[in-house]
Amino acid sequence: MIQLSDWARDLLISRGALVEGEGEGVVRALVPPDVSAKLSVSDWLSLDFGTRVGADDPAEWMDRLSALLPPSPAVAGVRLRMRAPTQRIDADAILNRELVVQNGVWRLVEDYAGATPYYLFSFQHTVESDERTIGYAGVCLNGAARSLAEQPERLLRSVRDDLEDDPAFAVPAAELRALYPLAARAAEAEVRARIAFIEQSANRRLARDCERMESYYSGLLAQLEKRAARRTAEPQAAEKDRDRIQATQLDRAAKLEDLVRKYSLRVQLELTDVLVVSLPVRTISVRLIRKKAERQVTLAWNAILRALDTPLCEACSGRARPLYLCDDKVHLLCANCWSPCPACARVFCRACQPRCKCAKK
Ligand SMILES: [Zn+2]
Ligand SMILES: [Zn+2]
Ligand SMILES: [Zn+2]
């Protein structure tokens, strides 16, 4: 079961909040105005779901935070009409190829056939700059393994003709609520990569316009200063010159702000629908070993895509491929969440501790 504080953190981040964690069960966040309005809180939200005296009520906050979830998207449950049993696989060879553990080793325990619900989240994204672009992004999550199936479009294309309505389907509300923030973050990363060229082009045009404007104003200011230097003997004229220079500088700053506003991108992500389908997998149990610590985890090999799902980072929920492990609890981490502290250069696990210990001294 996912921790409430993790869910709250992911959900707040997906709504544009700046979140910092401070130990077990605690979430502190700077939230944007629309979020603070929805939650009826100030800009700073501080939640404590620990067992301490005066901690926040988890049930109450689960309810309040649910206001941030998208208004009931269309959720459909389908099943595969025919399901041939998943054939045996060479799990060792697959892991050798697809499981890259950067700072540890893995040992295969066992693998067996099964079926697992996959959640295909569809998002529409609108990018507004000096023009408007609309696109779609899909994210496919494995609910049981909390991993990501890459290439959701290809996955859907491969099974589309074999899908039929699942009469026994009941909307898995709790699971959807837990998975939504992960899906939103994956979609955000995807959209971000996709609009990179729009961003680059906007940045290029911004740089060009700034340069033009800069050269216009520096010419103007140089003239004004020259004239002011000639007239220092006349106090009234000198004051006028000073005012003029100041006004021109203010004007330049305002124009610069306008330009930045003109070329900044506003990206909106909206969940349109979710398709839930149980797909054949091979469940692979592995022992992950890091120095003296080890931990057994289950990975999923998707039989439709014939590929290993990408594990999600246990600190930031981003893709953990290549995979890093921490020393103590063998958390599954992405490169960012197992990286040196910018202050003291000591590598630390962002899942074990949100901040480096050197910050507290
Ligand atoms: Zn991470
Ligand atoms: Zn440090
Ligand atoms: Zn850790």
Tokens at 349, concatenated: 């696990």
pLDDT at site 329: 95
Name the range with the highest mean pLDDT among 58-67, 79-88, 297-306. Answer: 297-306
pLDDT on residue 334: 95
331 pLDDT above the threshold of 60? yes
The pLDDT of residue 71 is: 67
Angle between helices 196-230 and 173-194 (to 10 degrees): 60
Q: Does residue 205 carry a pLDDT above 60?
A: yes
Which range is least confidently modeled, 90-94, 193-197, 325-329, 348-352?
193-197
Question: Which one-letter amino acid corresponds to residue 255?
Answer: K
Share of the chain above pLDDT 90, in %: 44
Nearest in space to 326 (alpha carbons), one of 27, 159, 26, 104: 104
Confidence band for 1, pLDDT divided at 50, 70 and 90: very low
pTM beyond 0.85 = no
- Does residue 203 register a pLDDT over 80? yes
C-alpha 296 to ligand 3 mean position (Å): 15
The predicted model gives 76-99 an average pLDDT of 87
User: Which region among 80-94, 137-151, 307-321 has the lowest average model confidence (pLDDT)?
Assistant: 80-94
CB distance 185 to 312 below 8 Å: no
Q: Say what the pLDDT of residue 121 is.
A: 94
Distance, CA of 314 to CA of 22 (rounded, Å): 16
92 near 110, Cβ under 8 Å? no
d(CA 332, ligand 3 centre) in Å: 8
Structure tokens at 59: 């049930």
pLDDT at 361: 55
Question: pLDDT tier at 179 (50, 70, 90 boundaries)?
Answer: very high
- And the tokens for 202? 């906007």
State residue 83's pLDDT score: 65
Question: So what's the pLDDT on residue 88?
Answer: 87
Centre of ligand 2 from the C-alpha of residue 345, in Å: 6
Q: What is the mean pLDDT of the chain?
A: 88
Residue 360: the pLDDT is: 65
Q: Peptide bond before 172: cis, by omega within 30 degrees of 0?
A: no
Q: Does residue 51 register a pLDDT over 50?
A: yes
- Residues less than 5 Å from ion ligand 1, measured at CB: 313, 315-316, 318, 334, 337
**CA 141 to centroid of ligand 3, rounded, Å:** 23
Q: Is residue 161 classed exposed, middle or buried when 0-12, 13-18 and 19+ CB atoms within 10 A define those classes?
A: exposed
CA distance 187 to 136: 9
Q: What is the 3-state secondary structure (H, E, C) of 310-348?
A: EEECCCCCCECCCEEECCCCCCEECCCCEEECCCCCCEE
Ligand 1 mean position, distance from CA 202 (Å): 29
Query: In sequence order, which residues have a C-beta less than 8 Å from that of residue 241 and are 6 or more positions away?
Result: 224, 227, 228, 231
What digits encode the pLDDT tens for the residues 258-304? 988 888 888 888 888 899 999 999 999 999 999 999 999 999 999 99
The pLDDT tens digits for 5-47 are 878 887 888 788 888 766 677 888 888 888 888 888 888 888 8
- Cα-to-centroid distance, 352 and ligand 3 (Å): 4
Label the pairing between strands 266-290 and 74-80.
Answer: parallel
User: How close is the Cα of 47 to the center of ligand 3, in Å?
Assistant: 22
Nearest ligand to the C-alpha atom of residue 314: 1
